A and B are shown apart, each in its own frame.
Chain A
């Protein structure tokens, strides 16, 4: 590569960096002040592109385009304010993961609202009036709009920086980022501040989305892409630091640009196709940064937020009532095959539910009692699933062996990723687990020779007698019961107690000789291995496996299951997973707008059952028993 080509590449990267920065900066501001993990931020960005598209095409001309971008920012900002007032205010004091669930429901709702309003097709906007041409730099042509974006990014950074440093509003934001309770104690109207910051963050996302209208088509898939990008940038830069966010955006964009620019490079006999790394580049950068600097490039250790939810009740061994209920459920499930003739679908659904139960129970194990909010639990599901599928495909192993190897493969993955992840906590741990999952996903997606790429592996059917649904169902039932009981047993053992001890107070745990990191690592590995069982079962249940199961969506599904049932209870994940699997299945089959429906149901649950279903039931039961 010549020097001029390299320089051109860097310049190109800067315009992508600006785009990343626009999405990320609002998220960083919102998180800094309200500590809300707003998953719907990517949806604001997506809406921005769609609204700007409509402005630009309906009104047309320079006014429609440029004016439209500003109007879009205002509309999305107003929408943000509305959401803050109607929804988020009710859940500021809820546990972090709970807020995640609520904002993910918004993602689903917005996604279908967009589908309803604009249709499923990608919409390509007009090019920017006045900036349609290209600038010649070093003998190459750079679209002038890209150059405009490359300059706009740092400009926005400057404006925000001055606002934060010079204005009263900015000082309040900085103060609230450091200690929001103190700001409240000083008599600042917190409600107004939070609404304003949320609106500002949303407006910035909408603005960023709107600017993209001239570069990329408006598409329904941008919401999740944008939110992942934004999170990566914010975490790499350091939560709450806008300068860090720009720095991170530049680093990530440049690494990606270089990967594309390098293309296939021959080193001796080896040829490496660097363009394949673009999918995973940002996550590699994030993983490296978090391992070296646990709080991001310019981030600081966060002051603990003192107004979190009440600590949970001590765990108690199962009451006779619970044991009887469990036994009845088990017997009922074991009898399900008798229904196979009248409701053949019941068994298929049953298998899905049981796999979901193993998945959710293993995630709950580390996320609840362990306090490690993994956003990448699907990685271990995928490792188990692919481990089993590939052994059958390449080595023609029997199903029994493949199902044994599945948890082992997942265990190895958890051993490696867990070692790094347990060194972090809170949102940083969540993001590192996410990064690892995305890396696994990208490897599986790109390594077509081994994994079949996006097509996955097909034709992995169980041998007789397991090819009959009811036999396979019983196999799943046995394994699910074993998995749930083993996890429960461990929770009540010294190891499980030590894991909770480390979550409750790391300081105290270390002061009585508990190696918290090692205990959490071990727990992470156990959860990973159990999750691998679910993956293995899934492969043979579907007869095929594709990279989707490793995707962020699946990890989030797991979290929703756990939260739906109640993270502070031990039976919660079982109930949550069952309900989620059934809901997803029924709602999905019956409605075109299943996402919105699911989102609506989740929102209802969030507002009506803040402790999850089992938590709410337990509370009702306690109240009934009290005199």
Chain B
């Protein structure tokens, strides 16, 4: 059974069809890339899956359960983690407190009004930070971090709730090429270890072709291709969408 199944998803903004009849599925343990030019509807798709937006029509099934229209926090509680295109963390907290927050919420302790939060789940938070290579910065204010490090922290936050599906919207946006490959390699390693399925969007074709198990392509709100890296590279429609030439993909053989 697929972890996530999206069927005939549609969303219109003021008459503009941002997402138009999109269907796809994420298999268990799969590392699935969603690519497409700017404005193709990738983020809108993401926002509908994680509950920030309600779709106009269509179905979103997480492990067989209909989740479309649920609130973001309800979707999270079912086991769907999320990172954002522009990394979102709590700037007034330390790095480790950011992760602790997610652990506290996962443990259902958000409404505890008395016990100090900083002593809760500290060990586990340190362990998660260690896995993303940020344990040395644990007690630094999150706002002081370089952007690439913020992305790592955000990844640790997303892992904290032990999700079975991770939605990563441009996990490497705003990073340099070296840093980019490093982060994706880390992400891939950790999710494979945990058996987490991942749906991610990415503009760097190097990253996509090197790491994705499968690729789906969105253009103008519609799904135009679905297949392995080789399939996508040879797909005429995909070439047309990316400026009508195959050059974008030429040097990116894995």
Which candidate, A183-191, A459-467, A505-513, is the interface stretch facing chain B?
Answer: A505-513
> 1/0 per residue B108-128: CB within 8 Å of A?
011111111110100000000
Known: A511-B50, A512-B76. A493 touches B88 (CB 8 A): no
Stretch from B34-42, B94-102, B190-198 contacting the other chain: B94-102
Query: Is A622 engaged at the interface, CB distance under 8 Å to the other chain?
Result: no
- Taking a contact as CB atoms closer than 8 A, the residue among B71, B101, B106 that contacts A501 in the complex is B101
A130 is an interface residue with CB less than 8 A from chain B: no
* B91 at the A interface (CB under 8 A): yes
Contact between chains at A508 and B114 (CB < 8 Å): no
Bound complex: CA of A267 vs CA of B135, how far in Å? 71
- With a cutoff of 8 Å between Cβ atoms, the chain B residues found around residue A501 in the complex are 90, 93, 101
Residues of A488-510 contacting chain B, CB below 8 A: 489-490, 492-498, 500-501, 503-505, 507-510
Given that A512-B102, A513-B77 are known contacts, is A498 also in contact with B91, CB under 8 Å in the complex?
Answer: no
B72 touches A494 (CB 8 A): no
Q: Once the chains bind, are A513 and B105 in contact (CB under 8 Å)?
A: yes
Chain A, residue nearest B110 (CB): A498
Contacts of B91 in A (CB 8 A): 311, 504-505
A79 touches B (CB below 8 Å): no
Contact code string B50-77 (vs A, CB < 8 Å = 1, else 0) = 1010000000000000000001110011
Q: A494-B110, A504-B92 are in contact. Are A314 and B76 (CB under 8 A)?
A: no
Residue in A312, A313, A498, A512 whose CB lies within 8 Å of B157: A512
CB pairs A–B below 8 angstroms (25 shown): A311-B92, A313-B92, A314-B94, A489-B113, A492-B118, A493-B114, A493-B115, A494-B117, A494-B120, A495-B110, A495-B111, A496-B113, A498-B104, A501-B101, A504-B91, A505-B88, A505-B89, A505-B91, A508-B88, A508-B89, A510-B52, A511-B72, A513-B77, A513-B161, A514-B101
Complex contact A489–B114 (CB within 8 A): yes
CA A515 – CA B77 in complex, angstroms?
11
B249 contacts across to A, CB distance below 8 A: none
A504 touches B90 (CB 8 A): yes
Q: Which of B97, B106, B112, B160 contacts A495 (CB 8 A)?
A: B112
- Proximity bits, A303-338, B CB within 8 Å = 1, else 0: 000000011111101000000000000000000000
Given contacts A494-B115, A498-B111, A501-B93, could you give 9 more A-B pairs where the C-beta distance is less than 8 Å?
A: A311-B92, A314-B94, A493-B112, A493-B113, A495-B110, A497-B101, A500-B92, A504-B93, A513-B106
Report how far A513 CA is from B81 CA in the complex, Å.
10
Which residues does chain B contribute within 8 Å of A444, judged by CB atoms? Answer: none
Q: Which residues of A contact B97 (CB under 8 A)?
A: 314, 497
Closest to B116 in A: A492
Give Cα A501 to B112, complex, Å: 15
Contact assessment for B82 and A511 in the assembled complex, using a CB-CB cutoff below 8 Å: yes
Is A367 in contact with chain B by the CB < 8 A criterion? Answer: no
Q: Which of A494, A504, A511, A519 contacts B76, CB < 8 Å?
A: A511
Of chain A, the residue at the smallest CB distance from B94 is A314
Q: A507-B84, A512-B76, A515-B73 are in contact. Are A500 and B90 (CB under 8 A)?
A: yes
Chain B residues contacting A315 (CB-CB under 8 Å) are 92
Interface residues on B, range: 35 or more
- Bound complex: CA A509 to CA B89 (Å): 8
Expressed in whole angstroms, the Cα–Cα distance for A311 and B88 within the complex equals 14
Q: Which A residue sits closest to B154, measured CB to CB? A: A508
Interface size on A, residues (CB 8 A): 33
Interface string of A464-490 (1 = CB under 8 A from B): 000000000000000000000000011
Neighbouring A residues of B143 by C-beta, 8 Å = 310-311
Q: Does A255 contact B (CB under 8 A)?
A: no
Chain B residues closer than 8 Å to A512, beta-carbon distance:
73, 76, 101-102, 105-106, 157, 160-161
* Contact B90 A492, beta carbon cutoff 8 Å: no
A123 at the B interface (CB under 8 A): no
Which 4 interchain pairs have the tightest Cβ spacing? A508-B88, A311-B91, A504-B90, A497-B117
Identify which of A312, A489, A498 gathers the most chain B CB atoms within 10 Å of its CB: A498
Complex interface: chain B residues within 8 A of A522 (CB): 111
Q: Across the interface, which residues of A come within 8 angstroms of B148, CB to CB?
A: none
Which residues of chain B are near A500, meaning CB under 8 Å? 90, 92-93
CB neighbours (8 Å) of A519 from chain B are 110-111
Residue of A at shortest CB range from B106?
A: A513
Q: Please measure, in the bound complex, the distance between the C-alpha atom of A497 and the C-alpha atom of B160, giving whole angstroms.
A: 17
A495 to B110, CA, bound (A): 6
Q: Tell me, yes or no, whether B246 is within 8 Å of chain A by CB.
A: no
Q: Does B29 contact A (CB under 8 A)?
A: no
- Tell me the bound Cα distance from A501 to B157 in angstroms: 13
In the bound complex, residues from chain A placing their C-beta under 8 Å from that of B50 are 511
**Chain A residues, CB < 8 A from B71:** 510
Q: How far is the CB of B183 from chain A (nearest CB, A)?
A: 19
Beyond A310-B143, A489-B114, A511-B50, is A494–B89 a contact (Cβ under 8 Å)?
no
A81 to chain B minimum Cβ distance, whole angstroms, is: 36
Let me know if B114 and A314 touch, CB within 8 A. no
* Contact residues in A for B93 (Cβ distance below 8 Å): 314, 497, 500-501, 504
